[in-house]
Amino acid sequence: MLINVGEIINKSWDYYAKNFKKLLPMMCLLFIPNFVLGLVGIFSLYMDQYAVTGVYILVNNLVVLAVFVASLVFTLWTSMALAKNLGMIVHEKPMTAIKEAFSNTSHLIWPAIYTTVLVFLAVLGGTLLLIIPGIIFSIWFCFSYLVVIFEEQRGVKALKESKKLVVGRWWKMFWRLLAPGVFYGIFFLILMNLFTYALEALLSGMPLMVANGFVNGILSALLSPLTALTTILLYFSAKENPMQVNPVIEAEKK
C-alpha cells in the first residue's frame, strides 16, 4: 500500500531529527551559494552606484551572471549528493562521506539539468495550452529528478519512468505531494516571520533586507533535507508498490 500523508510527515521528521548532525555539513554546503550570491549582490549594488562607464557595468553583470550559474550548478550537485544520502537513510543504511557522495553524483549533473529542462518545457507547454494539463504533467513528471539520481535514467526515459509511477493513482500522488508541502511550508513561514520580527526590532533599511535574505537562506538550507525526504519517501513507496497491470489490457495493447 502506498505510504499515506501522516506517515510521510512522521517519517520525514523522524529521519531528519535522528540524522540532523550527520546532515548538517550538507546543509551548510547548501547555504554557501546563497551566502555568496548575497555578497555578490551587495557588491553589485555598490558597483552600480560608482561605475561610470558601460565597460564596468558590463563586467559587473558578467561576473554576477557567472557566479549565479556556478551557484546553481553547485546547488544542484549538492542536492543530488544529499538526495543520495537521504535515500541511504530511508533504507536504513550508513550515509556515505561527503566526498564520496559528490563523486558518486558528478556524472549525473548534466543529465539532471537537461531532464529538469524537459520537465519544465513539458509543464510549461501544458500550462500554455490550458492550466489543467500543466498541473497534470507536473505530477506525472514529479519523480523525474529522483529517477535520474537513483536509477540513472535520463531525459525522456526519466520522464516516462516518473509517469509510470503516477498513472492510475494521480490524485493519490497529488495529495501526498501537496499536503506535506503545505505542512512544512507553513512551518517555514512561521519560523521566517519569527526571525523577521526579531530582526525588525534591531535593524532597518538595507541591513534589514540583507539580514532577512541570509536568514531565509539559512532556514531554507536547514529545512531542505526535510522537504526532500517527503518526495523521496513517496518515490520509494511508489517503486515498492507499483500499479497492478491488467493482463487483458496489456494483451490488447500488443
How confident is the model over 174-216, as pLDDT tens digits? 999 999 999 999 999 999 999 989 988 888 887 888 888 889 9
- Determine the pLDDT at residue 54: 64
Share above pLDDT 70 across residues of the chain, in percent, rounded to a whole number: 92
Cα–Cα dist 66/51, whole Å: 19
Question: Can you tell me whether residue 209 is helix, strand or coil?
Answer: helix
| Mean model confidence pLDDT for the chain | 89
Confidence of residue 43 (pLDDT cuts 50, 70, 90): confident
Query: What pLDDT is stored for residue 57 in this prediction?
Result: 74
Report yes or no: 86 and 233 within 8 Å, Cβ to Cβ: no
Instruction: Name the residue with cell 548538517.
Output: 24
As a whole number of angstroms, the longest Cα–Cα distance in the chain is: 74
Alpha-carbon gap, residue 219 to 192, rounded angstroms: 8
User: Cell numbers 562521506 correspond to what residue?
Assistant: 97
- What are the two backbone dihedrals, phi and then psi, of residue 96, each rounded to the nearest 5 degrees? -85, 160
Q: Would you say residue 44 has pLDDT above 80?
A: no
Task: Report the percent of the chain where pLDDT is more than 90.
Answer: 68
Look at residue 47 in the predicted model and tell me its pLDDT.
Answer: 67
pLDDT of res. 211: 85
State pTM to two decimals. Answer: 0.89
Query: According to the model, what pLDDT value does residue 245 have?
Result: 59
pLDDT (0 to 100) of residue 61: 78
pLDDT of residue 49: 66
Confidence (pLDDT) at 51: 60
Note the Cα 173 to chain centre separation in Å: 17
All three cell numbers of 214: 541570509
DSSP for residue 201: T
The alpha carbon of 160 is separated from its chain's Cα centroid by a whole number of angstroms, namely 20
Mean pLDDT of 12-21: 96
Window from 49-53, 111-115, 163-167 with minimum mean pLDDT:
49-53
User: Could you write out the DSSP letters of every residue in 127-160?
Assistant: HHH-HHHHHHHHHHTTTHHHHHHHH---HHHHHH
Q: How confident is the model at residue 248 (pLDDT cuts 50, 70, 90)?
A: very low
- Domain limits, the chain: 5-240
pLDDT band at 246 (very low <50, low <70, confident <90, very high): low
- Of the candidate ranges 130-134, 144-148, 149-153, the one whose mean pLDDT is the lowest: 130-134
Quote the pLDDT of residue 247.
46
Which 8-state DSSP code applies to residue 77? H
Residue 161 pLDDT exceeds 60: yes
Per-residue pLDDT, 206:
76
